Structure 1
């Protein structure tokens, strides 16, 4: 059982102890939770390129710690001015290219996200927050066990030479181009990055996919978060183009179901899985950046009525045609930040910007190539995103929890289980995070779950107690090893007396919840 960590004046949880330590160091210097999140994320862009990076996107939820207000930051990039869906269709593509194609690389939003978060909620100089990451990129960092497999592949790609030294965990990796890019942000803000060495290399690599105006346009917007009341709390996530509505809809459905008292009961897994299925089966048709009214109460009631406690639902016609890292921080003043940052699939597109060696995400795989689809690939458009951080407040508006996970299409499913354990069953963060999970699996890439919703199976993590019961209820089940394919979830829970209780996911191997 993974331990719950406790603190009284601040905490940071992330997938890497080096990142968590950098975040806590920012808190020690008087920084805010936003400062801590930026410092931790900056380190992860260096040490965890198989999950996130300067070439990826960012979303964040912020509880300001005073008025009780929750705000949402969408720092997802837009397709370049040269985006041409007709050309892809003429080449025979029915879906966006998954790897090795610059057209699945919207302009990365990470740096714009940092700058917007810092401008509104930061206390320390940005340069000081980036210093630990710059030092690790220049002097080197020990390769984590999770980096090994992807690094061997990345080293063989043009621009991936930083990873040629990785043969076993602990090998020292230096990333001088990333150090230069971070230093440029520290010195010159967004222009140092988007219009500097990285931007010039991206324009060259894009060969018409982007123009300079695309890079000059900021990618970060403060937007209104989505929220729902469930289990006596308000749970918040990101609005479209995020799939956060799937988590909230499933929680709203689950709150009205007769859940068993024990999460070990197969009926518990069945009801939550069905809540996730009836929420997500039509995601490909519904989710686009301008989607509205996805959480209408009557729609939640309609979908809840589809859930049958006695058997798996056949959903009928299929819907229309990663990796990631999550971190969270809470400071001594009660500010909480729930931040998720991603390349999409592992190292992303496996395309590297040639001057800095920064690997570029492939979030463009969320676009549709169906003519006229509201999420069709096109200039200046944001793709549908799997990223779905969460934040929980009490009825009085005070912060209860910050929580999130990586996991592609399965992110809402993982969080549905963790949040239900926390709020409905009163589990501590450690047990809630470390407990075995199910996920709706479709094989393939982890981003294609909803192309044929009735063909999916329930992947059950090693140690899960539900296998026979779920099979009897009509679920095809597959046993899977305990590990990162079921997400890396992290959680900080604020107790009524202000004590912080947190846990980093043991599936991350070197993750850490560090308090002060």
Structure 2
């Protein structure tokens, strides 16, 4: 149930064994960890449309002697008009079936930027396994089946019409053509080719050709905090990565119980998450600065009480994603997360290729003047928050991340605390039951009313009675993907790699060489 895999010369962990195998094959051919990550993500873009794809966004952290961060999240089109949505009586962005919640997808730009800086193998070679699976067919995963039935009923969702059970063969010829267009023509082959033209048509004024001609990937300065004797890194805004780092910095100054089985352990971690995140709707936008001020961290740490649940002020105003990580024999590590936001995304399909489109625009605000207000060329607040850990001297320790909507920082805080503070093995830290803070039900509304959140506990925890006595509203849910799919590779001091894929993913794999 909690197997850790070991390898001396490279490792790839992902939610699907086909993707992990493609990544390891790239390493075997002399590719870098970046090559492995691209090859694995390309396969996931084919076989895991219920989590990610060419119609979604991408973030990555890379350790190659130093830590760099890649933001490949798309921007709203030139036709973005918040006044029109408000005139329709909307107070928040449409969740499904509305092109206005679809920023220009950044995934392909992310691959190309990562490859340009860190790749060794030709892009054609990296995309070949994904193209073959899309053209010739792949087995439907158990997690795809339920969503595929819904997707098949949407315009453009015909690729999934024959999916009835796990193992059914699925082909995606339009996706194969799109991947081949990237291999042959780079970004123009994709954004200005068949996919781009179809997106403009579907958008009906939301996008212009200039919107698609502008690259969406930027190398940015990562954020960092010191916690549990290590440096933990994540993405800057528009990512919510600061919530993970603030939570860990708060925890590093608290007296945690010796065992994660103690209810006080879950209590303190949950309260650190609430102290860090309660005002996220007001603070998180693409231009946010100074979110990890030490004085502010100390102020929020003081809010956490060992003997009870804190009350936090109401702010002024089931996600699906996939995470993968790769480490190569030269020590480069890549922590990459790629997402549709909600399951198959907005349940909209680009009509020419059948690529399902993300709904990451749900992160925008419709409040006039809000710094994250929906508007042309803007990036929405993002739940995607990959993580990377270095030792005090700067050497790579861990690449880690998870899916899980708003709960991503909460899940990662639990895993990282288990790994760094309690010394658990990767497989043990990933398999252990988790908690999450739950809001209104979409997986993206946790912080709308932070005092009303319920503490969801995964089946198998030992915390329920103790947390209820401390004032937490709790409920128990089945063990599974509602609590994320996390993966990690840990680099031991002697260079041996120890990794694990989340057992909740059912077909995930940590593969090494």
State the TM-score, normalized to the length of structure 1: 0.99
What CA deviation, in whole Å up to 9, does each residue of 1:297-340 have, x standing for no partner?
00000000000000000113x12332100000000000000000
Query: Is structure 2 residue 401 aligned with structure 1 residue 409?
Result: no
Picking from 350, 353, 358, the partner of 2:355 is 358
CA distance in structure 1 between the partners assigned to 2:414 and 2:324 by the alignment = 18
Picking from 319, 343, 349, the partner of 2:315 is 319
Superposed counterparts of 1:115-514, under 5 Å: 115-316=112-313, 318-321=314-317, 322-514=319-511
Partner of 2:94: 97
Partner of 2:45: 45
Superposed counterparts of 1:75-114, under 5 Å: 75-114=72-111
Please give the secondary structure, in 2, of the residue aligned with 1:97.
coil
Partner of 1:61: 61
RMSD, aligned α-carbons: 0.4
CA distance in structure 1 between the partners assigned to 2:308 and 2:441 by the alignment = 26
CA distance in structure 1 between the partners assigned to 2:227 and 2:488 by the alignment = 18
CA distance in structure 2 between the partners assigned to 1:447 and 1:358 by the alignment = 23
CA distance in structure 1 between the partners assigned to 2:440 and 2:230 by the alignment = 34
What CA deviation, in whole Å up to 9, does each residue of 1:370-398 have, x standing for no partner?
00000000000000000000000000100
Please give the secondary structure, in 2, of the residue aligned with 1:146.
coil
Shift of 1:443: 3.6
Please give the secondary structure, in 1, of the residue aligned with 2:143.
helix
Shift of 1:359: 0.2
Instruction: Count matched residues.
Output: 512
CA distance in structure 1 between the partners assigned to 2:201 and 2:130 by the alignment = 26
Shift of 1:402: 0.1
Moved more, 256-265 or 435-444: 435-444
Partner of 1:33: 33
CA distance in structure 2 between the partners assigned to 1:514 and 1:102 by the alignment = 38
Any unmatched runs of 5+ in structure 2? none
What CA deviation, in whole Å up to 9, does each residue of 1:417-464 have, x standing for no partner?
000000000000000000000000114200000000000010000001
CA distance in structure 2 between the partners assigned to 1:513 and 1:336 by the alignment = 15
CA distance in structure 1 between the partners assigned to 2:316 and 2:457 by the alignment = 27
CA distance in structure 2 between the partners assigned to 1:287 and 1:191 by the alignment = 32
CA distance in structure 1 between the partners assigned to 2:228 and 2:316 by the alignment = 32
Query: Is structure 2 residue 24 aligned with structure 1 residue 13?
Result: no
What CA deviation, in whole Å up to 9, does each residue of 1:69-98 have, x standing for no partner?
000000000000000000000001100000
* 8 Å contact kept, 1:433–1:489: yes
CA distance in structure 2 between the partners assigned to 1:345 and 1:323 by the alignment = 5
Shift of 1:152: 0.2
* 8 Å contact kept, 1:320–1:451: no
Please give the secondary structure, in 1, of the residue aligned with 2:68.
strand
Any unmatched runs of 5+ in structure 1? none
CA distance in structure 2 between the partners assigned to 1:283 and 1:466 by the alignment = 27
Partner of 1:22: 22
What CA deviation, in whole Å up to 9, does each residue of 1:49-82 have, x standing for no partner?
0000000000000000xxx300000000000000
Please give the secondary structure, in 2, of the residue aligned with 1:254.
helix
Please give the secondary structure, in 2, of the residue aligned with 1:118.
helix
CA distance in structure 1 between the partners assigned to 2:199 and 2:454 by the alignment = 40
CA distance in structure 2 between the partners assigned to 1:333 and 1:320 by the alignment = 48
CA distance in structure 1 between the partners assigned to 2:20 and 2:210 by the alignment = 36
